[in-house]
């Protein structure tokens, strides 16, 4: 899904190595040139509709939307499933979204 640097960068690297990468954008959102879009296809999907979620289910995995990676991997064993987190996979912030400024604020580093 379109987002900030780590996931788009990972997708670009996978595309550079020959993976078929499809970036999913939100509908009705103006996007500027994505410098990390090299080698990727893109599609805009409205994830607030059943049709949009069904389409995403065929393209990608998101447990937050009720999409189970293990089911989808059975359907498509070539699927690459990656989880990126800035806070680690365990602990009180494990499910929280964050970015550099959040990490710096919590760590107390400057």
> Would you state the torsion angle of the CA atoms of residues 57, 32, 30, 18, taken in this order, to the nearest 10 degrees?
-10
Give the C-alpha separation, 63 to 1, whole Å.
Answer: 13
State phi, psi for 23 to the nearest 5 degrees.
-85, 130
Contact 103, 93 (CB under 8 A): no
As separate numbers, helices (DSSP H) first and strands (DSSP E) second, the chain gives 4, 2
**For position 99, what pLDDT does the model report?**
72
Is the whole model's pTM more than 0.85, yes or no? no
What sign has the CA pseudo-torsion 56, 21, 61, 102?
Answer: negative
The pLDDT tens digits of the residues spanning 68-85 come to 788 788 888 888 777 667
């Amino acid at each position: 899904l379109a987002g900030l640097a780590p996931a788009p960068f990972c997708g670009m690297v996978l595309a550079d190595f020959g993976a078929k990468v499809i970036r999913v954008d939100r509908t009705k959102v103006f996007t500027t040139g994505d410098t990390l879009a090299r080698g990727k296809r893109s599609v805009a999907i409205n994830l607030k509709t059943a049709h949009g979620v069904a389409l995403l289910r065929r393209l990608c995995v998101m447990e937050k939307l009720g999409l189970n990676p293990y089911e989808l991997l059975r359907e498509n064993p070539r699927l690459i499933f990656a989880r990126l987190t800035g806070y680690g996979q365990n602990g009180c912030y494990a499910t929280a979204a964050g970015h550099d400024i959040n990490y710096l604020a919590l760590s107390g580093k400057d």
